[in-house]
């Protein structure tokens, strides 16, 4: 609702068990929302569909399965798009009470996310308090040489980003 006042159309995606009521609340107000699970299958959007993806309190293990979930965000973002995190593990230094989360867990998760973002050649453009913003490169050409060295995550060599699915 806040971003809509700036002419930005958003889509809220939430798992049923955690935020189902939030999705219903958004739909009742005419805002786009859907129930979905990142990682269960590819999200139902074409590649390069979004200028920004924002994760707020989404409780996703972003680096699990060799960064598969971050690769899905990379697929959805347009070249030059932004990925915004405003929840733990980014804000692990802020007071946070979550299930089975310790400062050590959150610090480790953030370091793993930073490593995966570097391997995807995302540039961190902001890191303030409880908010971090990464920018996807316009192209991955400069990453091709580095990818040989890094070896992970694997980047598609096809022109069609949907080939991997």
Q: Give 95-109 pLDDT, tens digit per residue.
A: 555 555 555 556 677
Instruction: Say if pTM beats, i.e. exceeds, 0.95.
Output: no
Q: Give 141-162 pLDDT, tens digit per residue.
A: 767 656 554 555 555 566 666 6
Long-range CB pairs of 124-127, under 8 A, 24+ apart, other chains included? 125/82, 127/90
**Domain residue limits, the chain:** 38-150
Which residue is listed with tokens 């959805």?
A: 76
Secondary structure (DSSP) of 125-141:
EEEETTEEEEE--S-SH
């Amino acid at each position: 609702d806040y971003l809509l006042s700036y002419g930005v159309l958003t889509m809220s995606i939430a798992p049923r068990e955690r935020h189902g009521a939030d999705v219903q609340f958004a739909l009742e107000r005419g805002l786009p929302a859907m129930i979905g699970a990142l990682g269960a299958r590819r999200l139902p959007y074409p590649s390069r569909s979004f200028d920004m993806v924002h994760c707020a309190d989404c409780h996703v293990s972003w680096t699990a399965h060799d960064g598969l979930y971050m690769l899905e965000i990379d697929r959805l973002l347009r070249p030059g798009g932004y990925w915004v995190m405003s929840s733990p593990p980014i804000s692990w230094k802020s007071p946070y009470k979550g299930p089975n989360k310790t400062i050590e867990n959150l610090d480790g998760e953030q370091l793993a996310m930073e490593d995966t973002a570097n391997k995807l050649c995302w540039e961190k453009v902001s890191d303030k308090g409880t908010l971090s913003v990464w920018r996807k490169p316009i192209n991955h050409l400069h990453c091709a040489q580095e990818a040989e060295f890094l070896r992970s995550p694997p980047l598609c060599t096809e022109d069609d980003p949907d080939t991997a699915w």
